[in-house]
Amino acid sequence: MSAIAIDGPAGAGKSTIAKLISREMGYIYVDTGAMYRAMAVYFSKNKVNPEDESAINEAVKNVDIKIEYQNGEQQVILNGENVTGLLRTEETGKMASKTSKYAAVRTKLVALQRGLAKKTDVIMDGRDIGTTVLPDAFAKIYLTASSDARAKRRYDELKEKGENCSFDAIKEDIEKRDYEDMHRAISPLKQADDAVLVDTSDMNIEEGFSKIKPYLLLKNGIPSSENFEFNYTNTSGNSYNFKGTYPDGKTFSYIMGIKIIDSKYGSYVEAQEDDINYQVLIATKLNENSTLNDCLNEAWTSHWHNIKYPEYKAPDTGTTSYLESDCIAGNGTAFTL
Ligand code: DC
């Protein structure tokens, strides 16, 4: 199964961006914060003192959380009851923040999260997904924004709902929660070493998403190539210009993506616009000094695979930036996040 991890502080845009990616890639979106919130609902209902770890340990034994999907929306079932509608309150958020630091709570929920990722392709968001829950996720994004930007978003949201609120109080609360998340002993919030950092302070959701897309494209061959242009002449002398404007599968002439398989091999994806036949060319990294063009030439003469979109899944997953750098060098447009 393939997994994408998105971590970062509250208000950075994780869930909105994760849902967009989920739609584009057909991966199931898993909101892990909702699980900590469901635990919190149980603690609040049963008047468990969030400061008393042994009481929490006992209570956790009585909690059963299951995840279901209705019309593509995640539902959280707490001891047989759908509590999804109760999760986003201020009180639940505070309780979740106080209790998510305990080992008993985290152990139970991490097991649930890993179980979901074993069954299906997931895009999972939270605080510790790339570092602890799914360290082998093929793509990891650390999404952040300044506390000012996040407080402003929350302030505007509440104002729009007609609620009275103070920007300074919201910002203070955000900074306090960041501190707690980042300084707890178990699985603190931090960027995984192999995660890409995306700062959305000066971006809206669409801009954030469009920054992430090329990265996913490189990692998985997601069908979108708006940031790529690459000229390639194969050994038969045919020239190709790979350039894409593909968002919906119908408007491009060529799309291209790179999926990194391991430190020696990368797969290169080419698709032609006929909606039926898509072709994948597996490019082999020949040696330390070979360029992307060398890899493509080798691939052109040795491996061809016909595939059909959208069932396409590149044959393997892994993490390295080997071909990534070749691609960046070759395509003319910088790959920046
Ligand atoms: O993202 P959220 O606001 O719904 O998260 C609720 C709480 O759960 C928040 O205090 C952080 C915590 N949390 C966590 O510790 N680990 C996760 N993977 C997800 C959320």
Is residue 71 left, alpha or beta, with left meaning phi > 0 and alpha meaning psi from -120 to 50? left
Q: Atom 9 in ligand 1: which residue has the minimum CA distance?
A: 97
Q: Give the distance (Å) from ligand 1 centre to CA of residue 272.
A: 43
Q: Given the CA of residue 37, which atom of ligand 1 is nearest to it?
A: 6
Q: Is any atom of ligand 1 closer than 6 Å to the C-beta of 10? A: yes
Label residue 16 left, alpha or beta by phi (over 0 means left) and psi (-120 to 50 means alpha).
alpha
CA 164 / ligand 1 centre spacing (Å): 25
Task: Give me the percent of the chain exceeding a pLDDT of 70.
Answer: 64
pLDDT at 309 over 80: no
Residue 254's nearest CA partner among 281, 233, 224 is 224
- Beta strand 266-272 with 254-260 is antiparallel
Question: Which residue has the CA at smallest separation from atom 11 of ligand 1?
Answer: 97
Instruction: Tell me which residue has its CA closest to atom 14 in ligand 1.
Output: 127
End-to-end Cα separation, the chain, in angstroms: 26
Q: How far is the CA of 36 from the centre of ligand 1 (A)?
A: 6
Cα distances from 177 to residues 4, 22, 181, 197, 322, in angstroms, run 24, 27, 6, 20, 37
Strands 278-281 and 304-307: antiparallel
Q: Which residue's alpha carbon is at the smallest distance from atom 18 of ligand 1?
A: 126
How does pLDDT run across 121-155, given as a tens digit for each residue?
Answer: 999 999 999 999 999 998 899 999 999 999 999 99
Task: Report whether residue 126 contacts ligand 1, using a CB cutoff of 6 Å.
Answer: yes
- Spatial distance between the Cα atoms of 116 and 127, rounded to a whole number of angstroms: 17
Give the list of residues 6+ apart from residue 264 with CB closer than 8 angstroms, or none: 284, 285, 322
pLDDT per position as a tens digit, 218-263: 565 433 333 444 455 555 565 555 443 333 332 222 333 333 322 2
Question: How confident is residue 117, by pLDDT bands cut at 50, 70 and 90?
Answer: very high
pTM score over 0.75 = no
